[in-house]
Structure 1
Amino acid sequence: MTDLRDRLGRAVFLRVAGPDGPANRARIHDTPGPRWFGPERPIRTVHGDASMFIGGLSALLLQSLHPLAMAAVSAHSGFRGDPWGRLQRTSTFLAVTTYGTASDAEDAVARVRGIHLRVRGTTPEGLAYHAADPHLLGWVHAAETDSFLRAHERYGARPLDAAGYDAYVADTARVAEALGVIDPPRDRRALAGLLALYQPELRATPEARAAARFLLLHPPVPLAVRPFYGVLAANAVALLPSWARTVLRLPRLPVVEGLTVRPAGLLLTQTIRWAMTPGARSRLE
Protein backbone atom coordinates (compact mmCIF):
# COMPACT_ATOMS: atom_id res chain seq x y z
CA MET A 1 0.00 0.00 0.00
CA THR A 2 2.88 2.34 0.73
CA ASP A 3 4.33 1.72 -2.72
CA LEU A 4 0.93 2.33 -4.34
CA ARG A 5 0.50 5.52 -2.36
CA ASP A 6 3.94 6.80 -3.33
CA ARG A 7 3.46 6.03 -7.02
CA LEU A 8 0.05 7.65 -7.10
CA GLY A 9 1.34 10.66 -5.19
CA ARG A 10 4.25 11.13 -7.60
CA ALA A 11 1.95 10.78 -10.60
CA VAL A 12 -0.45 13.43 -9.30
CA PHE A 13 2.37 15.79 -8.38
CA LEU A 14 4.12 15.48 -11.75
CA ARG A 15 0.85 16.00 -13.63
CA VAL A 16 0.04 19.16 -11.70
CA ALA A 17 3.56 20.54 -11.26
CA GLY A 18 5.14 19.35 -14.53
CA PRO A 19 8.61 17.96 -15.24
CA ASP A 20 10.24 20.87 -13.43
CA GLY A 21 8.08 20.25 -10.36
CA PRO A 22 10.74 18.61 -8.16
CA ALA A 23 13.27 21.37 -8.88
CA ASN A 24 10.67 24.09 -8.36
CA ARG A 25 9.55 22.48 -5.10
CA ALA A 26 13.11 22.40 -3.78
CA ARG A 27 13.66 26.04 -4.71
CA ILE A 28 10.35 27.19 -3.25
CA HIS A 29 10.67 25.43 0.09
CA ASP A 30 14.42 25.14 0.67
CA THR A 31 15.59 28.62 -0.30
CA PRO A 32 16.17 30.67 2.85
CA GLY A 33 14.74 34.15 3.16
CA PRO A 34 11.65 36.08 4.22
CA ARG A 35 8.27 35.04 2.84
CA TRP A 36 5.12 37.00 2.09
CA PHE A 37 3.22 34.59 4.35
CA GLY A 38 4.41 32.89 7.51
CA PRO A 39 3.60 29.25 8.33
CA GLU A 40 0.64 30.31 10.48
CA ARG A 41 -1.20 32.15 7.68
CA PRO A 42 -4.51 30.72 6.38
CA ILE A 43 -3.42 31.02 2.74
CA ARG A 44 -0.92 28.23 3.37
CA THR A 45 -3.62 26.02 4.83
CA VAL A 46 -6.07 26.56 1.98
CA HIS A 47 -3.58 26.34 -0.89
CA GLY A 48 -1.94 23.24 0.57
CA ASP A 49 -5.16 21.21 0.72
CA ALA A 50 -6.46 18.66 -1.80
CA SER A 51 -9.69 20.68 -2.06
CA MET A 52 -7.77 22.93 -4.47
CA PHE A 53 -8.33 20.38 -7.23
CA ILE A 54 -12.07 20.95 -7.07
CA GLY A 55 -11.78 24.65 -6.34
CA GLY A 56 -9.46 25.24 -9.28
CA LEU A 57 -11.81 23.70 -11.83
CA SER A 58 -14.79 25.53 -10.35
CA ALA A 59 -12.83 28.79 -10.56
CA LEU A 60 -12.19 28.29 -14.27
CA LEU A 61 -15.89 27.79 -14.93
CA LEU A 62 -16.82 30.86 -12.89
CA GLN A 63 -14.13 33.07 -14.45
CA SER A 64 -15.33 32.16 -17.94
CA LEU A 65 -18.54 34.12 -17.38
CA HIS A 66 -16.92 37.51 -17.91
CA PRO A 67 -16.95 38.05 -21.71
CA LEU A 68 -13.77 40.13 -21.78
CA ALA A 69 -11.82 37.81 -19.50
CA MET A 70 -12.99 34.78 -21.48
CA ALA A 71 -12.07 36.41 -24.79
CA ALA A 72 -8.54 37.02 -23.50
CA VAL A 73 -8.20 33.44 -22.29
CA SER A 74 -9.65 31.97 -25.47
CA ALA A 75 -7.40 33.98 -27.77
CA HIS A 76 -4.14 34.03 -25.84
CA SER A 77 -3.84 31.36 -23.14
CA GLY A 78 -3.57 28.22 -25.28
CA PHE A 79 -5.59 26.27 -22.72
CA ARG A 80 -6.94 23.93 -25.40
CA GLY A 81 -3.63 23.15 -27.05
CA ASP A 82 -1.64 22.89 -23.83
CA PRO A 83 -4.08 22.57 -20.89
CA TRP A 84 -1.62 20.74 -18.66
CA GLY A 85 1.09 23.29 -19.32
CA ARG A 86 -1.28 26.08 -18.31
CA LEU A 87 -2.24 24.19 -15.17
CA GLN A 88 1.41 23.64 -14.29
CA ARG A 89 2.29 27.29 -14.77
CA THR A 90 -0.66 28.37 -12.65
CA SER A 91 0.10 25.89 -9.87
CA THR A 92 3.73 26.98 -9.83
CA PHE A 93 2.70 30.64 -9.53
CA LEU A 94 0.39 29.82 -6.63
CA ALA A 95 3.12 27.82 -4.90
CA VAL A 96 5.77 30.50 -5.35
CA THR A 97 3.59 33.37 -4.11
CA THR A 98 2.18 31.32 -1.22
CA TYR A 99 5.28 29.50 0.04
CA GLY A 100 8.33 30.92 -1.75
CA THR A 101 10.67 33.68 -0.74
CA ALA A 102 9.50 37.26 -1.10
CA SER A 103 12.09 37.77 -3.83
CA ASP A 104 10.85 34.78 -5.85
CA ALA A 105 7.23 35.87 -5.34
CA GLU A 106 8.01 39.35 -6.65
CA ASP A 107 9.79 37.88 -9.68
CA ALA A 108 6.83 35.60 -10.42
CA VAL A 109 4.40 38.52 -10.19
CA ALA A 110 6.60 40.63 -12.47
CA ARG A 111 6.59 37.88 -15.12
CA VAL A 112 2.81 37.57 -15.01
CA ARG A 113 2.35 41.34 -15.21
CA GLY A 114 4.64 41.41 -18.23
CA ILE A 115 2.48 38.79 -19.94
CA HIS A 116 -0.70 40.67 -19.07
CA LEU A 117 0.65 43.86 -20.66
CA ARG A 118 0.97 42.07 -24.02
CA VAL A 119 -2.47 40.42 -23.97
CA ARG A 120 -5.00 42.69 -25.64
CA GLY A 121 -7.55 42.47 -28.44
CA THR A 122 -11.26 42.68 -29.21
CA THR A 123 -14.14 40.29 -28.66
CA PRO A 124 -16.25 39.00 -31.59
CA GLU A 125 -18.69 41.80 -30.69
CA GLY A 126 -15.95 44.39 -31.10
CA LEU A 127 -15.34 45.14 -27.41
CA ALA A 128 -11.74 45.86 -26.48
CA TYR A 129 -10.00 43.95 -23.70
CA HIS A 130 -6.62 44.18 -22.02
CA ALA A 131 -5.44 41.55 -19.53
CA ALA A 132 -3.74 44.25 -17.44
CA ASP A 133 -7.06 46.06 -16.90
CA PRO A 134 -7.47 46.28 -13.09
CA HIS A 135 -11.21 45.68 -13.45
CA LEU A 136 -10.70 42.36 -15.27
CA LEU A 137 -7.94 41.38 -12.88
CA GLY A 138 -10.33 42.08 -10.03
CA TRP A 139 -12.90 39.67 -11.47
CA VAL A 140 -10.37 36.89 -11.99
CA HIS A 141 -9.08 37.35 -8.45
CA ALA A 142 -12.52 37.45 -6.84
CA ALA A 143 -13.75 34.36 -8.71
CA GLU A 144 -10.60 32.40 -7.87
CA THR A 145 -10.51 33.39 -4.20
CA ASP A 146 -14.20 32.62 -3.69
CA SER A 147 -13.86 29.22 -5.39
CA PHE A 148 -10.79 28.19 -3.41
CA LEU A 149 -12.40 29.34 -0.16
CA ARG A 150 -15.68 27.51 -0.69
CA ALA A 151 -13.90 24.35 -1.86
CA HIS A 152 -11.81 24.32 1.30
CA GLU A 153 -14.85 25.00 3.45
CA ARG A 154 -16.66 22.02 1.90
CA TYR A 155 -13.86 19.52 1.19
CA GLY A 156 -10.89 20.67 3.27
CA ALA A 157 -9.29 18.38 5.83
CA ARG A 158 -9.52 21.05 8.53
CA PRO A 159 -11.97 23.83 7.59
CA LEU A 160 -11.25 27.24 9.09
CA ASP A 161 -13.59 29.30 11.21
CA ALA A 162 -15.14 32.56 9.99
CA ALA A 163 -12.18 34.63 11.16
CA GLY A 164 -9.80 32.24 9.43
CA TYR A 165 -11.56 32.59 6.09
CA ASP A 166 -11.63 36.37 6.46
CA ALA A 167 -7.88 36.19 7.03
CA TYR A 168 -7.52 34.00 3.93
CA VAL A 169 -9.24 36.64 1.81
CA ALA A 170 -6.92 39.26 3.32
CA ASP A 171 -3.88 37.10 2.46
CA THR A 172 -4.94 36.73 -1.16
CA ALA A 173 -5.42 40.50 -1.38
CA ARG A 174 -1.66 40.94 -1.02
CA VAL A 175 -1.01 38.88 -4.14
CA ALA A 176 -3.88 40.56 -5.99
CA GLU A 177 -2.53 44.04 -5.29
CA ALA A 178 0.91 43.00 -6.52
CA LEU A 179 -0.72 41.83 -9.77
CA GLY A 180 -2.49 45.15 -10.26
CA VAL A 181 -5.89 44.73 -8.63
CA ILE A 182 -7.09 47.96 -7.06
CA ASP A 183 -8.44 47.68 -3.50
CA PRO A 184 -9.16 43.92 -3.48
CA PRO A 185 -11.55 42.59 -0.81
CA ARG A 186 -10.03 41.77 2.56
CA ASP A 187 -12.80 39.74 4.17
CA ARG A 188 -15.50 37.36 3.04
CA ARG A 189 -18.31 39.92 3.19
CA ALA A 190 -16.42 42.30 0.92
CA LEU A 191 -15.63 39.41 -1.44
CA ALA A 192 -19.32 38.52 -1.74
CA GLY A 193 -20.16 42.16 -2.36
CA LEU A 194 -17.59 42.42 -5.13
CA LEU A 195 -18.90 39.29 -6.85
CA ALA A 196 -22.39 40.77 -6.75
CA LEU A 197 -21.15 43.98 -8.38
CA TYR A 198 -19.73 42.01 -11.29
CA GLN A 199 -22.88 39.96 -11.92
CA PRO A 200 -24.54 42.42 -14.37
CA GLU A 201 -21.45 42.08 -16.62
CA LEU A 202 -21.51 38.28 -16.73
CA ARG A 203 -22.97 36.04 -19.39
CA ALA A 204 -22.28 32.73 -21.08
CA THR A 205 -20.70 33.63 -24.41
CA PRO A 206 -20.14 30.93 -27.04
CA GLU A 207 -16.49 30.88 -25.88
CA ALA A 208 -17.57 30.31 -22.27
CA ARG A 209 -19.91 27.46 -23.23
CA ALA A 210 -17.20 25.91 -25.39
CA ALA A 211 -14.76 26.13 -22.48
CA ALA A 212 -17.30 24.47 -20.17
CA ARG A 213 -17.84 21.64 -22.67
CA PHE A 214 -14.09 21.16 -22.97
CA LEU A 215 -13.53 21.13 -19.21
CA LEU A 216 -16.54 19.01 -18.30
CA LEU A 217 -17.17 16.72 -21.27
CA HIS A 218 -13.92 16.46 -23.21
CA PRO A 219 -11.11 16.74 -20.67
CA PRO A 220 -7.55 15.92 -21.78
CA VAL A 221 -7.21 12.90 -19.48
CA PRO A 222 -6.75 9.17 -20.25
CA LEU A 223 -9.89 7.03 -20.38
CA ALA A 224 -8.85 5.16 -17.23
CA VAL A 225 -8.89 8.43 -15.29
CA ARG A 226 -12.20 9.71 -16.70
CA PRO A 227 -14.38 8.34 -13.84
CA PHE A 228 -12.25 10.14 -11.24
CA TYR A 229 -12.22 13.31 -13.32
CA GLY A 230 -16.00 12.99 -13.61
CA VAL A 231 -16.27 13.12 -9.84
CA LEU A 232 -13.99 16.16 -9.80
CA ALA A 233 -16.03 17.91 -12.49
CA ALA A 234 -19.39 17.15 -10.88
CA ASN A 235 -18.22 18.61 -7.59
CA ALA A 236 -16.72 21.65 -9.31
CA VAL A 237 -20.12 22.33 -10.87
CA ALA A 238 -21.92 21.71 -7.57
CA LEU A 239 -19.59 24.24 -5.92
CA LEU A 240 -20.60 27.06 -8.27
CA PRO A 241 -22.98 29.73 -6.98
CA SER A 242 -26.52 28.96 -8.10
CA TRP A 243 -26.66 32.09 -10.28
CA ALA A 244 -23.50 31.02 -12.11
CA ARG A 245 -24.93 27.58 -12.84
CA THR A 246 -28.05 29.22 -14.22
CA VAL A 247 -26.02 31.43 -16.55
CA LEU A 248 -23.97 28.45 -17.77
CA ARG A 249 -27.14 26.33 -18.09
CA LEU A 250 -25.74 23.63 -15.86
CA PRO A 251 -28.44 21.51 -14.20
CA ARG A 252 -29.00 21.53 -10.45
CA LEU A 253 -30.11 18.26 -8.83
CA PRO A 254 -30.03 18.87 -5.06
CA VAL A 255 -31.03 15.35 -4.01
CA VAL A 256 -28.57 13.62 -6.33
CA GLU A 257 -25.79 16.03 -5.38
CA GLY A 258 -26.43 15.57 -1.69
CA LEU A 259 -26.59 11.77 -1.83
CA THR A 260 -23.87 11.00 -4.38
CA VAL A 261 -21.88 13.95 -5.76
CA ARG A 262 -20.69 15.52 -2.53
CA PRO A 263 -19.83 12.22 -0.77
CA ALA A 264 -17.89 11.18 -3.88
CA GLY A 265 -16.06 14.52 -3.83
CA LEU A 266 -15.13 14.05 -0.18
CA LEU A 267 -13.85 10.55 -0.94
CA LEU A 268 -11.84 11.83 -3.92
CA THR A 269 -10.13 14.57 -1.92
CA GLN A 270 -9.43 12.12 0.91
CA THR A 271 -7.85 9.75 -1.60
CA ILE A 272 -5.66 12.48 -3.06
CA ARG A 273 -4.67 13.50 0.46
CA TRP A 274 -3.80 9.88 1.27
CA ALA A 275 -1.75 9.56 -1.91
CA MET A 276 0.21 12.69 -1.13
CA THR A 277 1.37 11.43 2.29
CA PRO A 278 3.94 11.15 3.73
CA GLY A 279 5.25 14.52 2.67
CA ALA A 280 1.77 15.49 1.59
CA ARG A 281 2.14 19.19 2.14
CA SER A 282 5.38 19.55 0.18
CA ARG A 283 4.20 17.38 -2.72
CA LEU A 284 0.89 19.15 -3.15
CA GLU A 285 2.47 22.57 -2.78
Structure 2
Amino acid sequence: MDTDDLGLFGPGSVTWKVHDEPILIVAGLRSLYLQALHPRAMAGVAQNSNYRTDAWGRLVRTATYVGTTIYGTTAEAEAAGRRLRARHARLRARDPFTGEEFRIDDPDLLRWVHVTEIESFLSTARRAGLALTDAEVDGYYTEQRRSAALVGLDPTEVPGTAAEVADYYRRIQGDLRMTREAAETALFLTAPPVPWKLSRPLRLGLSLGPPRWAYFGVAGLAMALLPAWARRLYGGLGLPTTALSADLSARALRLALAAVPRRYREGPLQQAAKARVARHAAA
Protein backbone atom coordinates (compact mmCIF):
# COMPACT_ATOMS: atom_id res chain seq x y z
CA MET A 1 0.00 0.00 0.00
CA ASP A 2 1.24 3.49 -0.85
CA THR A 3 1.29 5.19 2.53
CA ASP A 4 1.55 8.61 0.85
CA ASP A 5 -1.46 8.04 -1.42
CA LEU A 6 -3.92 10.91 -0.89
CA GLY A 7 -7.03 8.85 -1.59
CA LEU A 8 -10.02 9.48 -3.82
CA PHE A 9 -10.21 13.21 -3.06
CA GLY A 10 -7.27 14.90 -1.34
CA PRO A 11 -6.60 18.30 0.27
CA GLY A 12 -7.56 20.38 -2.77
CA SER A 13 -11.01 18.83 -3.08
CA VAL A 14 -14.33 20.34 -2.09
CA THR A 15 -15.02 17.04 -0.34
CA TRP A 16 -12.24 17.60 2.18
CA LYS A 17 -13.42 21.17 2.71
CA VAL A 18 -16.97 20.03 3.49
CA HIS A 19 -16.01 17.03 5.62
CA ASP A 20 -13.66 19.10 7.76
CA GLU A 21 -16.84 20.41 9.40
CA PRO A 22 -17.72 18.69 12.72
CA ILE A 23 -21.33 19.85 12.24
CA LEU A 24 -21.66 16.89 9.85
CA ILE A 25 -22.60 14.73 12.82
CA VAL A 26 -26.00 16.44 12.48
CA ALA A 27 -25.97 15.79 8.73
CA GLY A 28 -25.61 12.05 9.24
CA LEU A 29 -28.73 11.97 11.39
CA ARG A 30 -30.59 14.20 8.93
CA SER A 31 -29.85 11.75 6.12
CA LEU A 32 -31.31 8.87 8.18
CA TYR A 33 -34.55 10.79 8.74
CA LEU A 34 -34.74 11.36 4.99
CA GLN A 35 -33.93 7.77 4.06
CA ALA A 36 -36.70 6.45 6.33
CA LEU A 37 -39.31 8.09 4.08
CA HIS A 38 -38.61 5.64 1.25
CA PRO A 39 -40.73 2.51 1.99
CA ARG A 40 -38.44 0.05 0.20
CA ALA A 41 -35.27 1.54 1.64
CA MET A 42 -36.84 1.43 5.10
CA ALA A 43 -37.97 -2.18 4.59
CA GLY A 44 -34.45 -3.12 3.53
CA VAL A 45 -33.01 -1.72 6.74
CA ALA A 46 -35.73 -3.10 9.02
CA GLN A 47 -35.54 -6.62 7.56
CA ASN A 48 -31.75 -6.90 7.42
CA SER A 49 -30.35 -4.75 10.18
CA ASN A 50 -29.93 -4.99 13.94
CA TYR A 51 -30.00 -1.23 14.28
CA ARG A 52 -32.48 -1.37 17.17
CA THR A 53 -30.24 -3.58 19.30
CA ASP A 54 -26.90 -2.18 18.14
CA ALA A 55 -27.71 1.41 17.20
CA TRP A 56 -24.41 2.91 18.29
CA GLY A 57 -22.33 0.10 16.82
CA ARG A 58 -24.06 0.57 13.47
CA LEU A 59 -23.47 4.32 13.69
CA VAL A 60 -19.76 3.79 14.34
CA ARG A 61 -19.46 1.33 11.43
CA THR A 62 -21.23 3.74 9.07
CA ALA A 63 -19.06 6.65 10.18
CA THR A 64 -15.94 4.52 9.74
CA TYR A 65 -16.99 3.58 6.21
CA VAL A 66 -17.65 7.21 5.24
CA GLY A 67 -14.40 8.32 6.87
CA THR A 68 -12.48 5.64 4.98
CA THR A 69 -13.91 6.69 1.62
CA ILE A 70 -13.18 10.37 2.33
CA TYR A 71 -9.81 10.18 4.08
CA GLY A 72 -8.43 6.69 3.48
CA THR A 73 -5.95 5.78 0.79
CA THR A 74 -7.34 4.75 -2.59
CA ALA A 75 -6.70 1.10 -1.73
CA GLU A 76 -8.48 1.44 1.63
CA ALA A 77 -11.50 3.15 0.05
CA GLU A 78 -11.77 0.56 -2.71
CA ALA A 79 -11.48 -2.30 -0.21
CA ALA A 80 -14.25 -0.78 1.92
CA GLY A 81 -16.42 -0.50 -1.19
CA ARG A 82 -15.81 -4.14 -2.12
CA ARG A 83 -16.81 -5.31 1.35
CA LEU A 84 -19.97 -3.22 1.26
CA ARG A 85 -20.95 -4.44 -2.21
CA ALA A 86 -20.40 -8.06 -1.19
CA ARG A 87 -22.57 -7.62 1.90
CA HIS A 88 -25.36 -5.90 -0.02
CA ALA A 89 -25.32 -8.55 -2.78
CA ARG A 90 -26.38 -11.22 -0.28
CA LEU A 91 -29.34 -9.31 1.15
CA ARG A 92 -32.98 -9.34 0.09
CA ALA A 93 -36.16 -7.76 1.49
CA ARG A 94 -39.88 -7.68 0.76
CA ASP A 95 -41.84 -4.65 -0.37
CA PRO A 96 -44.16 -3.64 2.53
CA PHE A 97 -47.07 -2.99 0.15
CA THR A 98 -46.76 -5.55 -2.67
CA GLY A 99 -44.85 -8.33 -0.91
CA GLU A 100 -42.42 -8.44 -3.84
CA GLU A 101 -38.91 -9.55 -2.99
CA PHE A 102 -36.16 -7.13 -4.02
CA ARG A 103 -32.41 -6.83 -3.80
CA ILE A 104 -30.85 -4.43 -1.32
CA ASP A 105 -28.32 -3.43 -3.97
CA ASP A 106 -31.06 -2.31 -6.37
CA PRO A 107 -29.57 0.78 -8.09
CA ASP A 108 -32.66 2.88 -7.32
CA LEU A 109 -32.26 2.22 -3.58
CA LEU A 110 -28.50 2.74 -3.63
CA ARG A 111 -29.02 6.03 -5.49
CA TRP A 112 -31.56 7.21 -2.91
CA VAL A 113 -29.25 6.49 0.00
CA HIS A 114 -26.28 8.09 -1.79
CA VAL A 115 -28.11 11.29 -2.72
CA THR A 116 -29.75 11.80 0.68
CA GLU A 117 -26.40 11.31 2.36
CA ILE A 118 -24.30 13.66 0.28
CA GLU A 119 -27.04 16.28 0.01
CA SER A 120 -27.37 16.18 3.81
CA PHE A 121 -23.62 16.66 4.26
CA LEU A 122 -23.49 19.59 1.88
CA SER A 123 -26.74 21.26 2.90
CA THR A 124 -26.01 21.03 6.63
CA ALA A 125 -22.51 22.46 6.24
CA ARG A 126 -23.74 25.37 4.12
CA ARG A 127 -26.66 26.20 6.38
CA ALA A 128 -24.31 26.13 9.36
CA GLY A 129 -22.22 28.82 7.70
CA LEU A 130 -19.63 27.11 5.48
CA ALA A 131 -19.08 29.45 2.54
CA LEU A 132 -19.11 27.65 -0.80
CA THR A 133 -19.44 29.03 -4.30
CA ASP A 134 -21.97 27.56 -6.72
CA ALA A 135 -19.06 25.98 -8.59
CA GLU A 136 -17.82 24.36 -5.38
CA VAL A 137 -21.29 23.00 -4.64
CA ASP A 138 -21.46 21.38 -8.06
CA GLY A 139 -17.87 20.24 -7.60
CA TYR A 140 -18.78 18.42 -4.40
CA TYR A 141 -21.62 16.53 -6.06
CA THR A 142 -19.39 15.66 -9.01
CA GLU A 143 -16.59 14.45 -6.74
CA GLN A 144 -19.00 12.31 -4.78
CA ARG A 145 -19.75 10.26 -7.89
CA ARG A 146 -16.53 8.47 -6.90
CA SER A 147 -18.20 7.42 -3.65
CA ALA A 148 -21.26 6.30 -5.63
CA ALA A 149 -19.07 4.04 -7.75
CA LEU A 150 -17.75 2.36 -4.59
CA VAL A 151 -21.22 1.10 -3.65
CA GLY A 152 -21.82 -0.23 -7.16
CA LEU A 153 -23.58 2.65 -8.90
CA ASP A 154 -22.84 3.86 -12.41
CA PRO A 155 -21.44 7.37 -11.74
CA THR A 156 -23.09 8.73 -14.89
CA GLU A 157 -26.49 7.82 -13.45
CA VAL A 158 -25.94 9.71 -10.19
CA PRO A 159 -26.79 13.44 -9.81
CA GLY A 160 -23.57 15.39 -10.20
CA THR A 161 -24.72 19.01 -9.75
CA ALA A 162 -27.05 20.92 -7.44
CA ALA A 163 -29.61 21.25 -10.23
CA GLU A 164 -29.53 17.49 -10.85
CA VAL A 165 -29.98 16.76 -7.14
CA ALA A 166 -32.96 19.14 -6.95
CA ASP A 167 -34.48 17.48 -10.02
CA TYR A 168 -33.92 14.04 -8.49
CA TYR A 169 -35.75 15.07 -5.31
CA ARG A 170 -38.66 16.45 -7.33
CA ARG A 171 -39.00 13.21 -9.28
CA ILE A 172 -38.76 10.84 -6.32
CA GLN A 173 -41.17 12.58 -3.94
CA GLY A 174 -44.10 10.60 -5.36
CA ASP A 175 -42.44 7.39 -4.11
CA LEU A 176 -42.03 8.62 -0.54
CA ARG A 177 -44.45 7.84 2.28
CA MET A 178 -44.84 8.35 5.99
CA THR A 179 -45.25 4.67 6.85
CA ARG A 180 -45.51 3.10 10.28
CA GLU A 181 -41.92 1.87 9.94
CA ALA A 182 -40.79 5.39 9.03
CA ALA A 183 -42.55 6.81 12.10
CA GLU A 184 -41.09 4.13 14.38
CA THR A 185 -37.63 4.69 12.96
CA ALA A 186 -37.88 8.46 13.36
CA LEU A 187 -38.91 7.99 16.98
CA PHE A 188 -36.02 5.59 17.52
CA LEU A 189 -33.56 8.04 15.94
CA THR A 190 -34.86 10.80 18.19
CA ALA A 191 -34.62 8.77 21.41
CA PRO A 192 -32.24 5.83 20.89
CA PRO A 193 -31.04 3.68 23.80
CA VAL A 194 -28.25 5.36 25.70
CA PRO A 195 -24.83 3.63 25.64
CA TRP A 196 -24.24 1.61 28.82
CA LYS A 197 -21.54 3.88 30.22
CA LEU A 198 -23.83 6.89 29.94
CA SER A 199 -26.82 4.98 31.31
CA ARG A 200 -25.05 4.00 34.55
CA PRO A 201 -26.16 7.20 36.37
CA LEU A 202 -29.78 6.22 35.66
CA ARG A 203 -29.23 2.82 37.24
CA LEU A 204 -27.76 4.53 40.27
CA GLY A 205 -30.88 6.63 40.65
CA LEU A 206 -29.36 9.80 39.24
CA SER A 207 -30.42 12.00 36.35
CA LEU A 208 -28.79 11.34 32.96
CA GLY A 209 -28.64 15.06 32.39
CA PRO A 210 -26.50 16.69 29.68
CA PRO A 211 -25.78 13.71 27.34
CA ARG A 212 -29.46 12.89 26.76
CA TRP A 213 -30.52 16.52 26.39
CA ALA A 214 -27.59 17.27 24.09
CA TYR A 215 -28.62 14.39 21.84
CA PHE A 216 -32.24 15.59 21.82
CA GLY A 217 -30.95 18.96 20.64
CA VAL A 218 -28.94 17.37 17.81
CA ALA A 219 -31.90 15.20 16.75
CA GLY A 220 -34.27 18.18 16.81
CA LEU A 221 -31.86 20.21 14.71
CA ALA A 222 -31.43 17.35 12.21
CA MET A 223 -35.20 17.14 11.79
CA ALA A 224 -35.54 20.91 11.44
CA LEU A 225 -32.85 20.96 8.72
CA LEU A 226 -34.85 18.60 6.50
CA PRO A 227 -36.26 20.01 3.24
CA ALA A 228 -39.72 21.53 3.70
CA TRP A 229 -41.37 18.71 1.74
CA ALA A 230 -39.78 16.11 4.03
CA ARG A 231 -40.86 17.96 7.18
CA ARG A 232 -44.40 18.01 5.84
CA LEU A 233 -44.31 14.23 5.36
CA TYR A 234 -43.31 13.95 9.01
CA GLY A 235 -46.25 16.11 9.99
CA GLY A 236 -44.47 19.44 10.26
CA LEU A 237 -45.60 22.64 8.60
CA GLY A 238 -42.48 23.30 6.57
CA LEU A 239 -42.67 27.04 7.29
CA PRO A 240 -39.84 29.40 6.28
CA THR A 241 -39.53 30.43 9.94
CA THR A 242 -38.67 26.81 10.83
CA ALA A 243 -35.85 26.85 8.30
CA LEU A 244 -34.55 30.19 9.61
CA SER A 245 -34.56 28.93 13.19
CA ALA A 246 -32.73 25.77 12.09
CA ASP A 247 -30.10 27.82 10.26
CA LEU A 248 -29.45 29.96 13.34
CA SER A 249 -29.19 26.88 15.56
CA ALA A 250 -26.82 25.18 13.12
CA ARG A 251 -24.59 28.25 12.97
CA ALA A 252 -24.47 28.44 16.77
CA LEU A 253 -23.56 24.76 17.05
CA ARG A 254 -20.85 25.14 14.39
CA LEU A 255 -19.29 27.99 16.34
CA ALA A 256 -19.38 25.93 19.52
CA LEU A 257 -17.77 22.94 17.85
CA ALA A 258 -15.09 25.15 16.30
CA ALA A 259 -13.94 26.00 19.83
CA VAL A 260 -13.11 22.33 20.51
CA PRO A 261 -9.39 21.59 19.92
CA ARG A 262 -8.77 19.82 16.62
CA ARG A 263 -7.15 16.83 18.30
CA TYR A 264 -10.54 16.06 19.86
CA ARG A 265 -12.80 16.69 16.88
CA GLU A 266 -10.69 15.05 14.18
CA GLY A 267 -10.88 11.27 13.95
CA PRO A 268 -7.88 8.99 13.38
CA LEU A 269 -8.67 8.59 9.67
CA GLN A 270 -8.61 12.34 9.12
CA GLN A 271 -5.44 12.72 11.17
CA ALA A 272 -3.73 9.96 9.20
CA ALA A 273 -4.76 11.60 5.94
CA LYS A 274 -3.27 14.92 7.01
CA ALA A 275 -0.06 13.16 8.00
CA ARG A 276 0.15 11.65 4.48
CA VAL A 277 -0.41 15.10 3.00
CA ALA A 278 2.46 16.48 5.08
CA ARG A 279 4.79 13.66 3.97
CA HIS A 280 3.71 14.15 0.37
CA ALA A 281 4.44 17.89 0.54
CA ALA A 282 7.83 17.28 2.16
CA ALA A 283 8.76 14.83 -0.55
Scaled to the shorter chain, the TM-score interval is 0.7 to 0.9
Structure 2 letter corresponding to 1:86: R
| Residues 20-35 of structure 1: pairs in structure 2 closer than 5 A | 31-35=3-7
After superposition, the Cα gap between the structure-2 partners of 1:172 and 1:256, relative to the gap in structure 1 and judged at 3 Å, is closer
Is 1:270 aligned to residue 255 of structure 2? yes
Where does residue 200 of structure 1 map in the other structure? 174
Structure 1 letter corresponding to 2:127: R
Where does residue 94 of structure 1 map in the other structure? 66
Tell me, in whole angstroms, the C-alpha distance in 2 between the residues paired with 1:82 and 1:133: 25
Match of 2:111 among 116, 138, 144: 138
| Residues 184-195 of structure 1: pairs in structure 2 closer than 5 A | 184-195=158-169
Tell me, in whole angstroms, the C-alpha distance in 2 between the residues paired with 1:60 and 1:155: 19
Structure 1 letter corresponding to 2:260: A
Q: Deviation at 1:95?
A: 1.1
After superposition, the Cα gap between the structure-2 partners of 1:264 and 1:186, relative to the gap in structure 1 and judged at 3 Å, is closer
Give TM-score, length-normalised by structure 2: 0.82
Instruction: Count matched residues.
Output: 255
| Residues 1-285 of structure 1: pairs in structure 2 closer than 5 A | 31-125=3-97, 126-156=99-129, 158-182=130-154, 183-218=157-192, 220=194, 222=198, 223-224=208-209, 225-252=211-238, 255=241, 258=244, 261-278=246-263, 280-282=265-267, 285=270
Greater displacement, 206-215 / 176-185: 176-185
Which of these two proteins has the greater Rg computed from alpha carbons?
2
Structure 2 letter corresponding to 1:91: A
What are structure 2's unaligned runs of at least 5 residues?
Answer: 199-207, 271-283
Structure 2 letter corresponding to 1:142: V
* Contact persistence 1:66–1:202 (CA under 8 A): yes
After superposition, the Cα gap between the structure-2 partners of 1:175 and 1:255, relative to the gap in structure 1 and judged at 3 Å, is closer
Secondary structure (helix, strand or coil) at the match of 1:195 reads: helix
* Contact persistence 1:50–1:284 (CA under 8 A): no
Give CA-to-partner distance per residue, 1:239-265, whole Å, 9 cap, x none: 111111111223546546645x54333
Tell me, in whole angstroms, the C-alpha distance in 1 between the residues paired with 2:216 and 2:242: 15
* Contact persistence 2:14–2:140 (CA under 8 A): yes
After superposition, the Cα gap between the structure-2 partners of 1:66 and 1:217, relative to the gap in structure 1 and judged at 3 Å, is same
After superposition, the Cα gap between the structure-2 partners of 1:184 and 1:217, relative to the gap in structure 1 and judged at 3 Å, is same
Percent sequence identity over aligned pairs: 36
* Contact persistence 1:31–1:101 (CA under 8 A): yes
Give CA-to-partner distance per residue, 1:141-199, whole Å, 9 cap, x none: 1111111111010115x321111111110111111022122311111111111122211
Structure 1 letter corresponding to 2:214: F
* Contact persistence 2:228–2:239 (CA under 8 A): no
Give CA-to-partner distance per residue, 1:12-61, whole Å, 9 cap, x none: xxxxxxxxxxxxxxx9xx93224211211011111221121111111000
Give CA-to-partner distance per residue, 1:79-120, whole Å, 9 cap, x none: 111111111111111111111111111000000001111110
Tell me, in whole angstroms, the C-alpha distance in 2 between the residues paired with 1:255 and 1:186: 30
Greater displacement, 200-209 / 210-219: 210-219
Secondary structure (helix, strand or coil) at the match of 1:275 reads: coil
Structure 2 letter corresponding to 1:49: E
Q: Deviation at 1:277?
A: 2.3
Tell me, in whole angstroms, the C-alpha distance in 2 between the residues paired with 1:67 and 1:45: 33
Structure 1 ranges of 4+ moved more than 6 A: none
Tell me, in whole angstroms, the C-alpha distance in 1 between the residues paired with 2:78 and 2:172: 28
Tell me, in whole angstroms, the C-alpha distance in 2 between the residues paired with 1:262 and 1:237: 12
Secondary structure (helix, strand or coil) at the match of 2:160 reads: coil
Tell me, in whole angstroms, the C-alpha distance in 1 between the residues paired with 2:133 and 2:58: 32
Structure 1 letter corresponding to 2:31: A
